[in-house]
Chain A
Amino acid sequence: MYISYNWLKDFVKIPAKIKPGEVASELTKHTVEVEGVTGQAEQYDKIVVGKVLEVHKHPNADRLRLTVVDVKNQRLNIVCGAPNVAAGQLVPVALVGAQLPNGASIQESIIRGEKSSGMICAEDELGLGKDHEGILVLKNSAKIGEKFAQYLKANDVVFEVDNKSLSNRPDLLNHYGLARELAAIFNLSLKPYDKFFKRTWKFLGAKENRLSVKVEDPALCPRYSAVRVDNVTVKESPEWLKERLIAIGQRPINNIVDLTNYVMFDCGQPLHAFDAAKVQKIVVRRAAKNDSLETLDEKERILDNDDLLITDGRKALAIAGIMGGRDGGVSSETKSLILESANFAASGIRRTSQKLGLRTEASLRFEKSLDPNLTEVALLRFLTLLEEIDTEITIGSSLLDVSAGASSELAIDLDLNWLSSKIGQEIPKETVINSLKKLGFIIENGGKKEVNLRVIVPSWRATKDIANKEDLAEEVLRLYGYDNIVSRLPVLAMTPPEINEEKRLERRIKNILALKYNFNEAYNYSFVGEEQLKKLNIDFFQHLKLVNPLAETQSLLRQSLIPGLANNVKANQFKSDDFGFFEIGSVFFNAPGNFKKDATGDDFLPYQEKRLGLVLAGGGDLFDRLKGIIGSLCRNLMTYETEVEFSALDNAPGWSDRQAVAKIIVLGQELGLIAKMNPEVSENLNLKKDVALAEMNFDLLIKMLLNLPSFRFQEAPKYPPVIRDLAFVVGEKILYNDLRQAIYHFNPLIRSVELFDVYVGSKLLIGEKSLAFHIFYQSADRTLVASEVDKIQKELIDYLNKKFEVRLRDF
């Protein structure tokens, strides 16, 4: 939103020593962010008035002319494309080096072989309107060589205020509201708004009045004020009015439309003018389903029962508070008008504007909850200004005012001791009272001894902005200035911070994965798409969906980290030979989880769990390497002798290679799975490298780590172990896991079993493999003798032979 400095000065007298830059920075510190300050003179820098002396045809282009333009101290050759250029005209000339308001910068150039030193400007290029039909021809009063800003009498400074930061301040979307803030910040006096309109109008009595207003739905339209004005002449607005609107970036249209806009930017109340020729009454009602209306922007709008219409009893005239209809508005033929100054419920306006995708200056204000008291004030302000520019007008109706009833006054108790404790220091009582008063609050009891102030909230702040004493504290504090608050750290009881062990472990795991095993940390999106899941043979029907995804590729909530990790491989496969990624992230399922949906109910959020995903891409036996890493990681996190088991699983995921997929079991708990990527899936995904992936339940891993018995050092056994190496030949279907378990549990003297070789090859039959183990025999209380170990070993071999049909490898 643009704010004119000159306009603000209508309402508050700003001493010359306060410069616009200071106004902007103080507003930013105390009220709302001012994003830019631009002087109009600055805006029209290097644009001057010139006189066209000669116009010739361009030798190489039919549509272009060569002109010679006098800009007082020199004559410029300028190539011009406008059809309306003619010798003798006074025109705005942008000199070389000028930066036009529309962003173009002017350079010396050759246009179709002819030199051009500047540009003769059209209206739109100067930011003065939308006309680009031809160059702007100036009045005869223009002086050759004069600065264009001077010619325009443009001496204003324009502030750009950040609209977004005003979401709770409907009272500030206008000049008077900001003037009020300035008065409070700089302690200046604010002229009362009622000095800006006259109250003594000859409204018609009930007998002569022909216009009626009916509001069918007072909840959506708490107040509707209207008046008929006759003897109106629709024409161009006077200069002062156009200047003001141009300064804040609004295009002047005609006196009536311009004045309705002016009043809105003046005091914040949107107005609408209807042509009164055919309208005898106004009925405000909800639209019927499929009612339609062509709005001013020439679009057909389909409405429903939630939308509010302004009608003449039969025909729709406007979508209430948003935009008028194409018919029924003011035109050059209009002789009488009906002026609407109404208050519409914020939620209704918001809903309709949202649904239609139609946001206007009016809807922007209404959806923030406007002060219902404004309707009459704005209407009178409009009449006052209209009469000033057209003394012929007459009033053609009563002052119609349909109101759901005045809202009750809002009073808040403000305990000054509470205020001091809230802010952390005492702010003098006079300062508190003065600040609030400057902002329009009324203090009912400002007596010397009073510590509990009764504060009446002004109507323009009572719509939703100010509701309790905390809100008042902010008013006092922001005017007092955050810079003036002394910083004091809280004095708190010394409590040792509770360490979040889960977070601490998470950090440790991340560090191990990145720094020890060289994984890179991915942050993949929580969203996946059907196409991608199809390629991975992942069933997507059970995935939770977004109602409003940004793209089809991101429409489902992920149930696995695998798709993201596969993407990571694809994105990097040509950048590096071998690499790995890990991610720790949440997955989402359509089943009740552990978190409650609200404080009271028994409903739970969908189940969510954190996963740890790992991927390796490149060459070598990745499946083996990844298993090794997981084993090592677990020994790192748990104990040095933690065994990770990999065992067959029944429901291998569709993306996995059936030959190389396994459950990961740690301390007897299934933690996740590990697999090579199925080559067909790799091809679907266009992966050019071998890929091994693992995914584990991270929450469970953390839980296991937290429940781990504390680690105890064990003294090295006093008696030496006897180590026997045995290589077994078994059928390829016999799993290492089972064989190892059988050996390990065979006799208590077997302390550990370590695989050291796996062989498949020509020395064995087809369908056989050989597994070789170091077997450690050890006793805690004596030195074992060879014969004892021999005996156990023989029994072990017999046992294994029976169980797995093993034989000893003999080569």
Chain B
Amino acid sequence: MKEKLNKLRDEFLEQLAQAKDSDYLHELELKYLSRKGELSQIMRSLKDLSLDLRQEIGELANNVKLELQSKFAEMSQTINNYSNKSGKIDITLPGGRIPQGHLNPITLVQQEMEDIFISLGFKILDGPELESDYYNFTALNIPPTHPARDMQDTFYVDLKNKDGQYDLLMRTQTSPVQIRAMQKYGAPLRALIPGRCFRSEATDARHEHTFYQVEGLLIDKNINFSNLKSLLEIVGQKLFGQNTKLRMRPKFFPFVEPGNNGEYTCFLCQGQGCRVCKYTGWLEIVGAGLVHPAVLKAGGLNPDIYSGLAFGFGLNRLAMLKYNINDVRLFNNGDLKFLEQF
């Protein structure tokens, strides 16, 4: 059996070396490698051997098969590409397909934001996703009776403190890092904080309990509203183009005062009105404001000396707008057909 195999191998390789065209190759493949070819016949006859012998010969047969297949593939590629009868090659054939991995679109949008702010002198910061009630709420001027603290809105962790209360939670916003940053670095401070956040809400095409924010904080002496407006205008232009305009309106957030919503000219219709902007010409994209004095104090800063501005973007929303994604669940469900497009 062994000799038979070796003989077959030598025969095949010899004939393969003489191959000139694909017809010849095809015949060779039929004779040796096809399902009814000589090699397959030998493989099938293995079952009649004793166990020991079967193991030994089987291994050899497998190796031979792999070798012949790879040599054959090599040759057939050469012949098909370069050595057809007329000597011409089809230069329009695609190259070999090189596999490629893909980053999550949230990562792409986050990196874009990071780059904008790094260029403005901001440092990128991180913080824990499992937070305390103190950093997520109290220090951010959100009193105990605030609706955001409800079980309906916040995931609490099942560990009670000394007083028998739940005081650990999955952070509902990246803002607790504001306080941690002030405590660690003091002022002046320029920080951009991207990260994963959680809210207890049922998931559908528009709602996700796990989502991503990026938030900015700038603290110095004499930071004012005019600065905030200007900074947000620049971010809008960098994100959506030079002609992007900003429109601000009042909006309540406990950790800023004044607090605002910012809308940018809809970049899809250039402000003409379309389905995405609900025919208003504007996209509501950013929440912002001047840092509340209580928040500065919680961060250990004196509000009579320092003032600050803060703003936050939803990365899911930015990515959905940018890439025309209509279902927020796609970011977290690891579907290759989705990821492959980025």
Query: Nearest CB to that of A425 among chain B residues?
Result: B226
A547 near B226: Cβ-Cβ < 8 Å: no
Pair A606/B168 contact, Cβ less than 8 Å: yes
Query: Would you call A40 an interface residue if the criterion is a C-beta within 8 Å of the partner chain's C-beta atoms?
Result: no
- Which chain B residues (262-309) contact chain A, with CB distance < 8 Å? 290, 292-293, 298, 300, 307
**Which one of A146-154, A278-286, A574-582 is at the interface?**
A574-582
| A526 in contact with B229 (CB, 8 Å) | no
Identify B156's interface contact among A518, A548, A762, CB under 8 A.
Answer: A548
B252 within 8 A of A: yes
Which residue, of A31, A568, A580, has the highest number of chain B Cβ atoms within 10 A? A568
**B168, A489: Cβ atoms under 8 Å?**
no
Inter-subunit contact B145/A526 (CB<8 Å): no
In the complex, chain A residues whose CB is within 8 Å of the CB of B259:
474
Residue of A31, A350, A486, A498 with most partner-chain B CB within 10 A:
A498
Contact bitstring B302-342, A, C-beta under 8 A = 1, else 0: 00000100000000000000000000000111111101100
Among A757-804, those with CB < 8 Å from B are: 761-762
The answer to whether B336 touches A576 (Cβ under 8 A) is yes
Is there a chain A Cβ closer than 8 Å to B8's Cβ?
Answer: no
- Which of B56, B126, B250, B336 is close to A575, meaning CB atoms less than 8 Å apart? B336
For A606, give its contact among B59, B139, B157, B231 (CB under 8 Å).
Answer: B157
B181 to chain A, nearest CB (A): 12
Question: B130 contacts which chain A residues (CB < 8 A)?
Answer: 544, 557, 586, 588, 605-606, 608
Q: Which residue of A lies closest to B340 (CB)?
A: A520
User: Which B residues are in CB contact (< 8 Å) with A550?
Assistant: 200-203, 209
B159 touches A590 (CB 8 A): yes
B334 touches A478 (CB 8 A): no
With both beta carbons as reference points, the residue of chain A lying nearest to B252 in the complex is identified as A168
> Given A488-B227, A606-B168, A523–B332 Cβ distance below 8 Å?
yes
A354 to chain B, nearest CB (A): 6
Inter-subunit contact A165/B252 (CB<8 Å) = yes
**Distance (whole angstroms) from the CB of A441 to the closest CB of chain B:** 16
Are A547 and B151 closer than 8 Å at their CB atoms? yes
The answer to the question of A482 belonging to the interface, with a C-beta cut-off of 8 Å to chain B, is yes
Which range contains the number of B residues in contact with the other chain?
A: 35 or more
A571 x B334 contact (CB < 8 A)? yes
Q: Judging by beta carbons under 8 Å apart, are A485 and B229 in contact?
A: yes
Q: With the chains together, A521 CA to B338 CA distance in Å?
A: 11
B33-41, B77-85, B96-104: which one contacts chain A? B96-104
Q: Is B106 an interface residue (CB 8 A)?
A: yes
Say if the beta carbon of B155 comes within 8 Å of chain A: yes
One of B16-24, B43-51, B67-75, B116-124 contacting the partner = B116-124
- Assembled-state Cα–Cα distance A81/B179 (Å): 65
A589 closest partner in B (C-beta): B130
> In the assembled complex, which residues on chain A have CB atoms less than 8 Å from the CB atom of B300?
599
Interface status of B64 (Cβ within 8 A of chain A): no
- Complex Cα spacing A608 to B103, Å: 24
Q: Closest residue to A595 on the B side, CB-wise?
A: B128
Residues of A within 8 A of B157 (CB): 544-547, 557, 606
Contact check, B307 vs A422: say whether CB atoms are below 8 A apart: yes
Do B101 and A167 touch across chains, with their CB atoms under 8 A apart?
Answer: no
Q: In the complex, what distance in Å separates the CA atom of A544 from the CA atom of B129? A: 14
Give the residues in chain B near A31, CB-CB below 8 Å. Answer: 250
Q: Which chain B residues numbered 198 to 243 have a C-beta less than 8 Å away from chain A? A: 198, 200-203, 209-210, 218, 220, 222-227, 229-231, 233-234
B residues at A contact (CB < 8 Å): 55-56, 59-60, 99-104, 106-107, 111, 114, 118, 120-132, 134-135, 138-139, 145, 147, 150-151, 155-159, 161, 166-168, 170, 179-180, 183, 188, 190, 196, 198, 200-203, 209-210, 218, 220, 222-227, 229-231, 233-234, 247-252, 257-261, 290, 292-293, 298, 300, 307, 331-337, 339-340
B59 and A761 contact, CB distance less than 8 A: yes
Find chain A residues with CB under 8 A from B167 CB. 597
In chain A, positions 566-625 with a C-beta closer than 8 Å to chain B are 567-568, 571-572, 575-576, 578-581, 585-586, 588, 590, 593, 595, 597-599, 603, 605-606, 608
Please report the C-alpha to C-alpha distance between residue A761 and residue B99 in the assembled complex, in whole angstroms.
Answer: 34
Contacts of A517 in B (CB 8 A): 101
How far is B156's CA from A575's CA once the two chains are assembled, in angstroms? Answer: 37
* Shortest beta-carbon contacts, A-B, top 3: A424-B226, A474-B258, A424-B224
Q: How large is the interface on A (under 10, 10 to 19, 20 to 34, 35 or more residues)?
A: 35 or more
* Interface contact A500-B124, CB-CB below 8 Å: yes
Among B166, B258, B298: residue with most chain A CB under 10 A = B258
* Residues of A with C-beta under 8 A to B224: 421-424, 490
> Considering the chains assembled together, what is the distance between the CA atoms of A576 and B339 in angstroms?
13
Q: Which residues of B contact A30 (CB under 8 A)?
A: 249-250
29 A-B pairs whose Cβ atoms sit less than 8 Å apart in the complex = A167-B147, A421-B224, A424-B225, A425-B226, A470-B258, A473-B257, A478-B250, A482-B248, A483-B248, A487-B226, A490-B218, A490-B220, A490-B230, A497-B122, A500-B125, A518-B101, A521-B101, A521-B339, A522-B104, A523-B332, A526-B129, A546-B156, A547-B158, A548-B155, A548-B200, A595-B127, A597-B134, A599-B298, A605-B168
B196 touches A526 (CB 8 A): yes
A603: B residues at CB distance < 8 A: 161
User: Apart from A423-B224, A500-B123, A515-B100, what 20 extra A-B contacts exist at CB < 8 Å?
Assistant: A32-B250, A165-B251, A165-B252, A423-B225, A477-B225, A478-B258, A493-B188, A497-B120, A502-B126, A518-B101, A524-B332, A526-B210, A546-B156, A547-B157, A548-B155, A567-B334, A572-B334, A581-B334, A586-B129, A597-B135
Q: Which residues of chain A have C-beta atoms less than 8 A from B249's C-beta?
A: 28-30, 33, 478, 482
Given A523-B334, A548-B156, A595-B128, A518-B210 contact (CB < 8 Å): no
Q: Which of A133-141, A506-514, A748-756 contacts B (4 or more CB under 8 A)?
A: A506-514
Taking the complex as formed, is A366 at the interface, i.e. its CB lies under 8 A from any CB of chain B?
Answer: no
| Residue A382 is within 8 A (CB to CB) of chain B in the complex | no
Residues of A at under 8 Å CB distance from B? 28-33, 165, 167-169, 346-347, 350, 354, 421-425, 468, 470-471, 473-474, 477-478, 482-483, 485-490, 492-493, 495-500, 502-503, 507, 510-511, 513-515, 517-526, 544-550, 557, 564, 567-568, 571-572, 575-576, 578-581, 585-586, 588, 590, 593, 595, 597-599, 603, 605-606, 608, 761-762
Whether A521 pairs with B104 at a CB distance below 8 angstroms is yes
Q: By the criterion CB–CB under 8 Å, are A514 and B103 in contact?
A: yes
Contact A608 B101 (CB under 8 A): no
Distance between Cα atoms of A165 and B252 in the complex (Å): 7
Give the chain B neighbours of A468 by CB distance below 8 A.
Answer: 257, 293
CB distance from A495 to the nearest CB of B (A): 7
Measured between alpha carbons, how far is A500 from B190 in the docked complex, in Å? 12
Pick the contact of A518 from B100, B151, B293, B337 — CB < 8 Å?
B100
Residue pair A497, B121 in contact (C-beta under 8 Å): yes
Most chain B beta-carbon neighbours within 10 Å: one of A424, A471, A473, A580: A424
Judge whether A167 and B252 touch: CB under 8 Å: yes
Q: Which of the residues B60, B132, B196, B333 comes within 8 Å of A597, measured between beta carbons?
A: B132
Please pick, from A350, A507, A762, the residue contacting B55 in the complex, using a CB distance under 8 A: A762
In the complex formed, the residue of A with least CB distance to B180 is: A595
Judging by beta carbons under 8 Å apart, are A485 and B225 in contact? Answer: yes
CA A585 to CA B334, docked complex, whole Å: 14
A422 and B121 contacting across the interface, CB-CB below 8 Å: no
Contact A514 B101 (CB under 8 A): yes
Do the beta carbons of A523 and B331 come within 8 Å of each other?
yes
Contacts of A474 in B (CB 8 A): 250, 257-259
Q: Could you tell me the distance in whole angstroms from the C-beta of B144 to the nearest C-beta in chain A?
A: 8
Q: Which of B56, B198, B230, B307 contacts A487 (CB 8 A)?
A: B230
Q: A493 to chain B: which residues have CB within 8 Å?
A: 188
State A307–B296 Cα separation when bound (angstroms): 36
Query: When the two chains form the complex, which single residue of B125, B139, B223, B292 contacts A599, counting CB atoms closer than 8 Å?
Result: B139
Contact check, A520 vs B101: say whether CB atoms are below 8 A apart: yes
Q: Which one of B190, B223, B226, B334 lies within 8 Å of A485 (CB-CB)?
A: B226
A578 to B101, CA, bound (A): 12
- In Å, the complex CA distance between A478 and B290 comes to 13
- On chain B, the residues within 8 Å of A762 by CB distance are 55-56, 59-60
